Amino acid sequence: MFPAAFDYIAPGALDEVLSLLSQHGDDAKVLAGGQSLIPLLKLRFAAPVIVVDIGRVDGLEGVRRENGHVRIGARTRHRDVESASDLRGTLDVLLDAAPLISDPLIRNMGTVGGSVCHADPAGDWGAVMLAVGAEFVVKSAGGERVLPAAGFFEGPFTTGLHSDEVMTEIRIPVGAGRSGGTYLKLERKVGDFASVAAAVHVVLGGDGRIATAGIGLCAVGAHSIKATAAEAVLAGQEPTDAVIAEAARLAGEAAEPKADIRGSAEYKRDVARVFVQRGLHTAINRAQGAAA
Amino acid sequence: MAVDTTEAAAASEAARQAMGGIGVSLARKEDARFIHGQGHYVDDVVLPGMLHMVIVRSPHAHARIKGIHSSAAMAIPGVVAVVTGELLAQHKLAWMPTLSGDTQAVLATDKVRFQGQEVACVIAETKYIAEDAAQLVTVDYEPLQAITTPQQAIAPGAIVIRDEKEGQTDNKIYHWEAGDKDATDAAFARAAKVVSLETFYPRCHPSPLETCGCVADLDPVTGNATIYMTSQAPHAHRTLFAIVAGLPEEKIRIISPDLGGGFGNKVPIYPGYVVATAASLLIGRPVKWIEDRTDNLISTGFARDYYMDGSVAIDENGKFIGLRVNLLSDNGAFFADAQPSKFKAGLFHIVTGSYDIPAAHIVANGAYTNKAPGGVAYRCSFRVTEASYFIERLVESAAVELGQDPVTTRLNNFIQPEAFPYKSASGFEYDSGNYPGAMKVALDMLGYDELRKEQAEKRAKGELMGIGVASFTEVVGAGKGKDYDIAGLRMFDSAELRVHPTGKAILKLGVKSQGQGHETTFAQIVAEELGIPASDVEVREGDTDNTPFGLGTYASRSTPVGGAATAVVARKLRDKGKIIAAHLFEADVADIEFAKGKYNVKGSPDNVKTIQDIAFAAYTNIPDGIEPGLEGVTYYDPPNMTFPFGTYLVVVDIDKGTGQVKVRRMVAVDDCGVRINPMIVEGQIHGGLTEGFGIAFMELITFDDEGNCIGSNFMDYLIPTAWETPRFELGETVTPSPHHPIGAKGVGESATVGSPAAYVNAVIDALSHLGITNIDMPITSDKVWAALRSKGVTE
Ligand SMILES: Cc1cc2nc3c(=O)[nH]c(=O)nc-3n(C[C@H](O)[C@H](O)[C@H](O)COP(=O)(O)OP(=O)(O)OC[C@H]3O[C@@H](n4cnc5c(N)ncnc54)[C@H](O)[C@@H]3O)c2cc1C
């Protein structure tokens, strides 16, 4: 558990970070909370020439509401989302997911942007971001791009992010409508990555029908999965048990799990179904109880 | 007057607390330094000129070594040596003996036989340099077929793993039997019912928080070898070092400082210790070797990996009349079980458990596989955990088949309190017990009958709830030296007690705490026996130069053996004190009485000399013809083992949708005889129940078909945290051991031994009405889900 030698730099300004990244390309690695990168370095699975720590760059942290969005700085710690209690009623799914990420020590260090960029198929934020329809703001020396969460996750630990880019912000649209959501996670013990998890976010229209539903699945495929068929079957519908069961079935079908020490593919698919079903009931109940 | 008695009672209670004798929950003396981060572990040892060693391990489970190339590693500045098996062979150190009389490669020369096996060692000025260089040692391997189960191993035509052993033509290690085959066959022939169970106790790992390691310091001038090592048995290890490395024993000093847990993992001698020692000898500088977590999990002593298949014969009255068990043990690449020499399957023949079963027969076979060696007793007396698990699971099956409440089946078959000492069919003499007594306390604490009603109501609604019962009996505290030895060293233990002129004492022991609280418990025994307050007794262990020879701490033997030695040596000093007191009182020795640290002449109880007065006199005013000083040593060879027992009850709720099991309640009633420090005893039980919970639900070292170890870090090898561990409700009964000087039995392992079956029985109890009779540990949610789906149950 001793990393190979590397250079370390912690610039005070984002521009400096971006120019270092454009200079070093694939030889450089951004360091945020270090909760994924440092284990990789210690196991010598990663051996970058230079590690660029963004910990001293201002303006990358915090959760705030602005222009119909909830904006989360990329370097916001999991712990700070966990305690952003004013998200209750708007983005329940974030508040339910945050405390299920590993243990308090990791949540105090790990960052939302780091988790999204790392793109572990078993990372919890990926599924959440797909469910709430987030957008990712990424910057490079050449400029800024805004990437929708849908399509961002391309495979295990691979995303649409380029090696010279830094994620600066996550934007989540929050519209009118009553909303509710939740996150269900199967873990083998506290502090474990998910064996299966499901993120659910529902917005109800004024007529009580489901306006939009977002469903993200975690750890049941090569990357976080958006259960689009399930989402589609819910949109515009009365939230009946039958519709929910059908959506859950479709979500289970959207899962592409592999058998491993955590269980068979059938098992994981079925738990995804069960979680989406339970999650939709909770989300809809919450939305129905929420003020518009 | 009532007020006076209360005051007197309060005063006597205050005196009892201040003395800190038996029965007082004294705060642990050692905790101050641990809580302040001032413990001193092997990795804290830093010596001038010290080098660092890193082990290059095999990526293959089974492969022939074609060549080892170390020149690239040697070229890195700061690398001092790359040690290979070839180099060790020149010093006759390429192989070493194991605790089971087999041989184990120190560094592989011909073949590697498990993934993670030690192939070469890099020794460098810093740990970083050693790690960098280790990556540059390249080894040419010719991969061979890997054998990952004992069933494959013993199948005809299987590739021979130990082809270097003369006369070894297959993968069989031993065949061992206990009990009476004919009597057992006869019992089965007349049985009204036979109930069988086939189960597997999977491979798990003690995984102490502190991994193994050493600092070997061989002084080239004096020839002194000082080895700081993570050792549960420093004296035995010194002797083995003398034998293996050919070092003169008087020059070897093993120091086992504070240990961050052991659980059996620090009983064997590992290749790392041997290479570091040899390297220090060859280089003339101290060498430090500290395992990382993966090193520890993939290469050092694992536990269990036991296939058990057996039956109980039951007569028409529901009485057990015979027991048969067949074992197949996966011992890995080298037979390195920690077991008392005469018993190849350890003490597995305790398998008749708490039940009066007149005939039993056990057949055990061991096999080599391409997996790490070890077979250590993870917090249990050699193979007692496996035995206890098997019988408690089998009794559960019997209850289901008899259509009885599992409590009834147990009460019908318990060895009765008046039957002790009880001779078991497999050859043990149980010292004492009251099994129905412990059972009753547990049932009352749980509110058993109410919960059975709740279960029936839930079941009617399709909800799954189960109540698990286990009434274990252990055998701990080896030996009786005549019957139990390790590598020929008889399993006695020792205590040396010196009371200084000011009445403060130092107690030196042959056992070695790994966190059990010896510095407190053993001081309390002295307080009880000699009347010196526990706070005035300093306990020393772990340094072979400064403690009497002993066999170490494992198998719950410290209190049964070392504790007995302590009581006996304290009594010797107490008797010498009588001679001195007689001198001071100018009275006859026969007329001197002793109680609670005070001597007086019969008939004048108010004129006393304290033990402190006597200690001072021992150095200042000794009668003629008596040696000065107040010091003694005792080597205690116990007349028998001790047999702790208890009843554990577990309530679980099961989520049909996910298969998740939630432990709602856990009631544990333990009887370990007399409790010296009740708080420490409860701490031991909490620890064991937690490990039992881990074993039942999450801990697993498994392998894929190529022999790759799955479970090589704490993301994969799951150990429970405080978060998911259930709340424990503890109860007790006290049935003293009749042969132990203070009636204590040892409690370090009861809960790890007894609890897994209780947890598993609870799950099976929730599912047995569906026809589910067994799920092997660890009971993970996917296994429960699969069992439920196989019976058509779904959400
Ligand atoms: C024991 C353990 C348990 C864990 N359990 C869970 C769990 O249950 N659920 C879960 O979701 N996660 C879990 N994690 C992972 C944890 O959430 C990490 O914090 C997270 O995956 C990475 O965030 P970080 O800030 O630590 O990123 P780092 O480790 O610093 O970086 C991770 C990767 O992202 C890149 N990166 C980071 N920030 C940026 C950025 N702003 N722009 C561009 N690239 C960036 C880095 O270059 C690196 O490649 C666990 C981690 C550990 C060690």
Per-residue pLDDT tens digits for B491-518: 999 999 999 999 999 999 999 999 999 9
Whether the Cβ atoms of residue B234 and residue B493 lie closer than 8 Å to each other: no
Which tokens belong to B198?
Answer: 């086939």
pLDDT at B1 over 50: no
Instruction: Read off the pLDDT of each residue in A232-240 and give the average, rounded to a whole number.
Output: 97
A276 lines ligand 1 (CB under 6 A): no
- Residue in chain A closest to B711 (alpha carbons) equals A261
Pick the atom of ligand 1 nearest to A193's CA. Answer: 8
Instruction: Read off the pLDDT of each residue in A212-217 and give the average, rounded to a whole number.
Output: 98
pLDDT at A61 over 90: yes
- Does residue A58 belong to any structural domain of this protein? no
The answer to whether the B11-39+493-636 and B384-415+431-475+642-795 domains have the same CATH topology is yes
pLDDT at B164 over 80: yes
Average pLDDT, chain A: 96
Average pLDDT, chain B: 96
- Does residue A270 belong to any structural domain of this protein? yes
pLDDT at A188 over 60: yes
Is A239 found in the same domain as A140?
Answer: no
pLDDT in tens, A25-53: 999 999 999 999 999 999 999 999 999 99
How many structural domains comprise chain A? 3
Sequence letter at residue B325: V
Residues in chain B: 795
Is A198 found in the same domain as A116?
Answer: no
Is A101 found in the same domain as A22?
Answer: no
The upper half-sphere exposure of residue B96, i.e. CA atoms within 13 Å in the direction of its Cβ, equals 28
Among A115, A141, A173, the domain-final residue is: A173
Task: Give the closest-approach CA distance of B667 to chain A in angstroms.
Answer: 22
Is A199 found in the same domain as A98?
Answer: no
pLDDT on residue B338: 82
pLDDT in tens, B529-543: 999 999 999 999 999
Within 8 A of B782 by CB-CB distance, chain A residues are 195, 262-264, 267
Is A250 found in the same domain as A213?
Answer: yes
**CB atoms B780 and A262 under 8 Å:** yes
Among A111, A142, A173, the domain-final residue is: A173
Q: Percent of chain B at pLDDT above 90?
A: 94
What residue spans define the domains of chain B?
Answer: 11-39+493-636, 384-415+431-475+642-795
- Does residue A2 belong to any structural domain of this protein? no
Nearest CA to ligand 1 atom 14: A102
- Does residue A1 belong to any structural domain of this protein? no
Is A246 found in the same domain as A221?
Answer: yes
pLDDT on residue A159: 98
- CB atoms near residue B454 (< 10 Å): 15
Q: Percent of chain B at pLDDT above 70?
A: 99
pLDDT in tens, B209-218: 999 999 999 9
Pick the atom of ligand 1 nearest to A75's CA. Answer: 41
Is A141 found in the same domain as A40?
Answer: no
pLDDT on residue B4: 65
Strand order in the sheet with B138-143: B111-112, B63-69, B138-143
Strand order in the sheet with B303-314: B172-179, B360-367, B320-330, B303-314, B193-204
A46 lines ligand 1 (CB under 6 A): no
Task: Give the closest-approach CA distance of B294 to chain A in angstroms.
Answer: 9
pLDDT on residue B193: 98
Query: For the domain that residue A205 is a member of, what is the CATH number?
Result: 3.30.390.50
Is A134 found in the same domain as A97?
Answer: yes
pLDDT in tens, B631-647: 999 999 999 999 999 99
pLDDT in tens, B397-437: 999 999 999 999 999 999 999 999 999 999 999 999 999 99
pLDDT in tens, B60-69: 999 999 999 9
A159 lines ligand 1 (CB under 6 A): no
pLDDT in tens, B118-139: 999 999 999 999 999 999 999 9
Answer with the residue of higher pLDDT: B164 or B375.
B164
**CB atoms A271 and B135 under 8 Å:** no
pLDDT at A140 over 70: yes
Instruction: Read off the pLDDT of each residue in B367-371 and give the average, rounded to a whole number.
Output: 98
The DSSP code for B323 is E
A39 lines ligand 1 (CB under 6 A): yes
Among A173, A193, A227, the domain-final residue is: A173
The CA distance from B682 to B446, in Å, is: 18
pLDDT at B365 over 70: yes
The DSSP code for B13 is H
pLDDT at B3 over 60: no
Q: B100, B81, B137, B92: which is closest to B274 by C-alpha?
A: B92
Answer with the residue of higher pLDDT: A235 or B1.
A235
What CATH number labels B384-415+431-475+642-795?
Answer: 3.30.365.10
Instruction: Read off the pLDDT of each residue in B559-572 and give the average, rounded to a whole number.
Output: 97
Is A185 found in the same domain as A168?
Answer: no
**CB atoms A189 and B698 under 8 Å:** yes
Pick the atom of ligand 1 nearest to A29's CA. Answer: 47
pLDDT on residue B345: 87
**CB atoms B782 and A262 under 8 Å:** yes
The upper half-sphere exposure of residue B351, i.e. CA atoms within 13 Å in the direction of its Cβ, equals 32
Which tokens belong to A52?
Answer: 């660029």
Instruction: Read off the pLDDT of each residue in A8-17 and give the average, rounded to a whole number.
Output: 98
**CB atoms B785 and A271 under 8 Å:** yes
A3 lines ligand 1 (CB under 6 A): no
The CA distance from B733 to B646, in Å, is: 8
Beta strands in A105-209 (DSSP E): 135-140, 143-148, 153-155, 158-159, 166-173, 178-186, 196-204
Distances (CA, A) of B382 to B212, B270, B367, B374, B486: 21, 19, 17, 12, 12
Active site (catalytic) residues of B: 232, 379-380, 749
Distances (CA, A) of B111 to B52, B58, B144, B158, B163: 26, 10, 9, 17, 9
Instruction: Read off the pLDDT of each residue in A75-94 and give the average, rounded to a whole number.
Output: 97
**The domain B11-39+493-636 is classified under which CATH number: 3.30.365.10, 3.10.129.10, 2.30.30.100, 3.30.1330.20?**
3.30.365.10
pLDDT at B382 over 50: yes
Is A206 found in the same domain as A122?
Answer: no
What's the CA-to-centroid distance between A36 and ligand 1, angstroms? Answer: 4
Within 8 A of A190 by CB-CB distance, chain B residues are 721, 723-724
Which residue reads 């001081």 in tokens? B523
Residues in chain A: 292
pLDDT on residue B2: 52
Query: For the domain that residue A93 is a member of, what is the CATH number?
Result: 3.30.465.10
Segments forming the whole domain that contains residue A19: 7-53
